[in-house]
Amino acid sequence: MTPLTLPSPAKLNLFLHITGQRSDGYHNLQSVFQLVDLCDYLTFDISFKTLIINGMDNISSEDNLIIKAARLLQKHTGYQGGCKIELQKNIPIGGGMGGGSSNAATTLLALNHLWQTGLTLDELATLGIQLGADVPIFILGKNAWAEGVGEQLTAVNLAKIDYIVLKPACFISTKQLFSQEALTRNTPETTFAAYQQNPMHFGNNFEAIAKDLYPEVAQALAYLNQFGQARLTGTGACVFLPVQPGQDITAILQNAPCNSYFCHGLQHSPVHAQLGLV
């Protein structure tokens, strides 16, 4: 069989509120997930009898969500075959754009298709939550209103917007952010309708702390705030700005203090389009 190459899109959290802490130690949140066209690419070749992963030399097997996803699908379905998976990495690592979770989701979707294991999207999402809270959004393949730990998803329609994304030259420890006493953990619950009425009034509970702890994040936000209202995505380190008509996008990107990206907002995941799941 000819190898199959699929995209693995990134996401932005258009806002992120922590609404409470659960008895199991996890936090409830509310957010809007926006898929964007900044993508990694994974190539799958099922002519191999074992699992082989290339392109992740800097990540240990314990942290490799691609191989974890493949092994999880094997274990769940009893499939005995293998696959060689090549990763072309474009999404910033440790940026809060969901690259690792997206890679895991694309792997589950691709191997379910290639191995003909026959799981539904809901079944794959249930598997995916074992790998990470952001995996189900990429299995759903649509923009979504998120609640719970991020796994309770309701597909939503979002305006077609482009984004400028900056990746500060730092790696943010999510554990460190959650450990800060100043972190707001009791933001009142809201609704998607309320968000639609005043989206700029909805922020990210991690942003102020990330700015205080990481000067690179503060610098990137200050730069983008010259051109509009910038936000942190996830727990960072990436920050983003919705593009306004008439802005000189090229100049903003070229003069940025760190790595910069221009992204189109998506309505559907390109993985689902390629696999005929839309």
Q: Among the options 40, 134, 142, 211, which is catalytic?
A: 134
Q: Among the options 11, 142, 167, 211, which is catalytic?
A: 11
- 68 catalytically annotated: no
- 24 catalytically annotated: no
Classified as helix, coil or strand, 269 is coil
Catalytic residue positions?
A: 11, 134
